[in-house]
Amino acid sequence: MSVKEHGEGAMPVIVAWDTCMIRGVIAIARGRQLLAETYFEAAKGHSGWLMPEMDEALVTARVSRAEVTHVACGTGPGTFTGVKVGIACAKAVSMGLGVPVVGMPTLDLLAHAAPGIDRDILAVMDARRGQLYAAAFRPTDETLERLTDYMCVEPSSLCCVAAELDIGDLVVAGEATVELMDLLGKTRHVVTTGGDYPTGGALIKLASDMIESGDVSDAVSVAAIYLKKPV
């Protein structure tokens, strides 16, 4: 007997990726079961390989394009080209297959890549020029609650934010720098997850949560998260 999880829809078949950091990931899942995941160097020429990589992952997962019910992508912040290519491809696939888009902030993906953690999580990414992209999360029963806005700040400001929010012991996910760990470690116990980049598991976990709560968009309305103001 097949499980009908979403009203008239069958179990979601998700093709998901994040290209916003220097290591990219593609994942394919049926329901919450991960069928394929591929990692790749994303520093050069994203646009050339993302779609072929997606097709290859679909073959590995034994999923046809026609079966796909949702396309999910990391929406940044992140590298200039990576954010744009990831979202543009998701919009294209959404339009081409006639399926909705799940836009997942990349900092949320980093936090979700830290499994089974019972204390607050600070997700950070290198924003270049001495700045970090960051957001803090608190584990709840089923998922993670975001405690802060998505920020682009210097490491020292992050310590102030942590103090203001009364964040105690902390796990840092993503691109934790030695400077940041030293700063945070002055007043609390801090460890890193060691997971620097989003994982296939994180893509599918967050996409599935968002699909279940109806948090999906169409190709037009899914938008990138840019934290550096255009000049």
Partner 1 sequence: MELVLKSASEETTLALGSSLGSAASPGDVICLIGELGTGKTVIVRGMARARGHSGPVTSPTFTIINEYVDAGLCHVDAYRLDTGEQLIGAGIDDYLDGEWVCAVEWADRVRPALPSNALSIEIAFGEAENERVITIREEGGWDGRLARIMKELMSE
Q: Name the residues that contact partner 1, by CB under 8 A.
A: 22, 43-45, 48, 79-82, 128-129, 228, 230-231
**Least distance to partner 1, CB of residue 79, Å:** 5
Beta pairing, strands 13-18 & 70-74: parallel
**Least distance to partner 1, CB of residue 131, Å:** 10
Which tokens go with 19? 């290209």
**Least distance to partner 1, CB of residue 230, Å:** 5
Residue closer to partner 1 by CB (options 35, 227) is 227
Which tokens go with 167? 């964040």
Integer distance in angstroms from the first to the last C-alpha of the chain?
A: 56
Residue closer to partner 1 by CB (options 80, 187) is 80
Residue closer to partner 1 by CB (options 41, 212) is 41
Beta pairing, strands 120-128 & 170-174: parallel
**Least distance to partner 1, CB of residue 41, Å:** 9
* Total residues belonging to the chain: 231
Which tokens go with 92? 């294209």
Residue closer to partner 1 by CB (options 78, 100) is 78
Residue closer to partner 1 by CB (options 74, 200) is 74
What is the secondary structure of 122-189 as a DSSP string? EEEEEEETTEEEEEEEEE-SSSEEE-S--EEE-HHHHHHHHHHTT--SEEEEES--HHHHHHHHTTS-
| Of residues 27, 104, 99, the one with CA closest to residue 65 | 99
Establish whether the linkage from the previous residue to 52 is cis, with ω within 30° of 0.
no
**Least distance to partner 1, CB of residue 176, Å:** 18
**Least distance to partner 1, CB of residue 77, Å:** 12
Q: Helix-strand-coil percent breakdown of the chain, rounded to 5?
A: 30, 30, 40
Residue closer to partner 1 by CB (options 186, 229) is 229
Q: At what angle do helices 80-97 and 46-61 cross, to 10 degrees?
A: 50
Residue closer to partner 1 by CB (options 22, 88) is 22
DSSP class of residue 217 equals B
**Least distance to partner 1, CB of residue 178, Å:** 18
